[in-house]
């Protein structure tokens, strides 16, 4: 297993829409393992393949406090949304930036597991937010795009300044 480089906003590759995975094979399973290792090491609670410059519909999530409840979702699709919650979000592709985003309070997501079996997960709270956040990445959206234009410009400027300092 190896750690994967995570793209940083506003990298244009984060805007690419991920393609469905047609066949779950060894390369998909290996990517899922590498993504999980990268997510845990970062540390984060979710990672979409788009964030590691692989434009296929695959996400890994572990929103548990014990960090031992890994969910791997192939071709995830939101099939139900209900309610509204506003939570502070952050993102491995937007390091050091946190802001409040409105998301559905409850979601049902249909997906394939790594054996190709059709599954679904019903989630509320943090897991519901994380599922929506990561599925947004597969659609080419980063959480800051839910914020005002002014906040987006400020975030881009702050990240550009950080990049100059560390370069």
Residue 35 has pLDDT above 70, yes or no: yes
148-156 contacts: CB < 8 A, separation 24 or more? Answer: 151/99, 155/9, 155/94, 155/97, 156/9, 156/10
- Out of 89, 134, 139, 145, which one is annotated catalytic? 134
CA–CA dist 54, 49 (Å, integer) = 5
CA–CA dist 10, 35 (Å, integer) = 21
> Could you tell me which of 10, 33, 7 has the C-alpha nearest to residue 114?
33
Q: Which two tokens stand for residue 29?
A: 């399973």
Residues 6+ apart with CB under 8 A from 22: none
Q: What is the pTM of this model?
A: 0.94
Residue 2 has a pLDDT of: 64
CA–CA dist 81, 123 (Å, integer) = 10
Is residue 134 part of the annotated active site? The answer reads: yes
Q: Which CATH superfamily is domain 12-166 in?
A: Peptide deformylase (3.90.45.10)
pLDDT, tens digit, 9 for 90 and up, residues 49-90: 999 999 999 999 999 999 999 999 999 999 999 999 999 999
Give the CB-side neighbour count of residue 57, counting CA atoms within 13 A.
19
Each domain of the chain, given as residue ranges in start order, spans 12-166
């Amino acid at each position: 297993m190896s750690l994967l480089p995570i793209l940083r906003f506003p990298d244009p590759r984060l805007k690419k829409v991920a393609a469905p995975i047609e066949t779950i094979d060894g390369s998909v399973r290996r990517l899922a393992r590498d993504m999980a290792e990268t997510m845990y090491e970062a540390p984060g609670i979710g990672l979409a393949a788009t964030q590691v410059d692989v434009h296929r519909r695959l996400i890994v999530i572990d929103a548990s406090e014990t960090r031992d409840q890994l969910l791997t979702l192939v071709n995830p699709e939101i099939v139900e949304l209900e309610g509204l919650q506003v939570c502070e979000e952050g993102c491995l592709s937007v390091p050091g930036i946190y802001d409040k985003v409105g998301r559905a309070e409850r979601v049902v997501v249909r997906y394939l597991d790594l054996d190709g079996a059709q599954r679904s997960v019903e989630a509320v709270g943090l897991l519901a937010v994380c599922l929506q956040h990561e599925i947004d990445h597969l659609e080419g959206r980063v959480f800051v795009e839910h914020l005002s234009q002014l906040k987006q410009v400020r975030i881009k400027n702050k990240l550009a300044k950080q990049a100059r300092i560390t370069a």
